[in-house]
Amino acid sequence: MRRRCVIVGGAEIRNYQTLWDYLNPGDFNIFCDSGLSHQEALGIEPHLIVGDFDSHPNPCLDVETIVLPREKDDTDTVFAVKEAVKRGFDEFLLLGAAGGRLDHTLGNVSLLLMLHRQGKRALLVDNYSEMEIVSKAPACIDGSFPYFSLLNISGTAEGITVEGAKYPLRDAEIQCTYQYGISNEVLPGREARVSVEKGELLLVRVRRDSF
């Protein structure tokens, strides 16, 4: 049975109730520094705490805690992801990892690409959407996500197919310099499907309750 690692960062979370649907009792939960501010509202207990504690005090709980130096190459969230990979996790859910500072958000989105290239499954959920990397294996978007976007964050993506959407594509290409795949729409009563023959795209599913 696959065990999933949930990594909680300190970015703003507006609707905790939406995130409850993503959580499972068997998850391994890592809280990163100020991500601890979300613990009570999320209603989950940490199995590991990591951080340099520059934005949240060390709670000194009876929980495994890795105290990091403040001067380092990896952010607390990047360290947490690498630590979880070392511990053998193949599936990841990132919460509190997008919003606020753009540099941290972009850095955390790039973790999806890093994990994808290691053969891991990873989903990042923020206040408006959920994000994952899509390549050859098709990804689906159901009617609970009326809008979705495809963004190139890794170079040139080729052989892009989009079906079941208002703006379909066949053997298309999206480059980092021209991001025309924003705000596509799932056709009523349909399920959209996306695949990429060469390269990767960031798939952003926008939740209906975001409007």
Is 191 found in the same domain as 157? yes
Q: Record the pTM.
A: 0.93
In terms of domains, do 28 and 8 share one?
yes
* Domain extent at residue 123: 4-127
> With 80 as the cut, is the pLDDT of residue 178 above it?
yes
pLDDT of 211 over the 60 cut: no
**Helix pair 102-117, 76-86: axis angle to 10 deg:** 20
5-20 pLDDT, tens digit each: 999 999 999 999 999 9
Distance CA 99, CA 11 (A): 6
Is residue 98 domain-shared with residue 174, that is, in the same domain?
Answer: no
Which pLDDT score is estimated for 172?
97
Domain end (from 127, 157, 179): 127
The number of distinct structural domains making up the chain is: 2
In the DSSP assignment, the letter for residue 53 is -
DSSP 155-168: SEEEEEEEESBSS-
Q: 3-class DSSP state for residue 126?
A: coil
* Whether residue 151 is found in the same domain as residue 96: no
User: In this structure, are 121 and 97 located in the same domain?
Assistant: yes
Q: Are residues 162 and 121 in the same domain?
A: no
Residues 48-70, mean pLDDT to the nearest whole number: 89
Looking at the structure, do residues 8 and 111 belong to the same domain, yes or no?
Answer: yes
Identify the domain boundary among 100, 127, 154.
127
Structure confidence at residue 209 (pLDDT): 72
Boundary (domain end) residue, out of 76, 97, 127: 127
CATH number of the structural domain spanning residue 18? 3.40.50.10240
Q: How far apart are CA 125 and CA 133, in angstroms?
A: 13
Query: What whole-number distance in Å separates Cα of residue 118 and Cα of residue 204?
Result: 20
Q: Are residues 168 and 104 in the same domain?
A: no
Q: Are 116 and 163 members of one domain?
A: no
Q: What is the rounded average pLDDT of the residues 28-39?
A: 96
Whole-number Å distance between alpha carbons of 14 and 93: 17
Q: Is 152 exposed, middle or buried (0-12, 13-18, 19+ CB in 10 A)?
A: buried
| pLDDT per residue as tens digits for the range 191-201 | 999 999 999 99
Residues 34 and 82 in one domain: yes
Of 208, 141, 144, residue with least CA distance to 168: 141
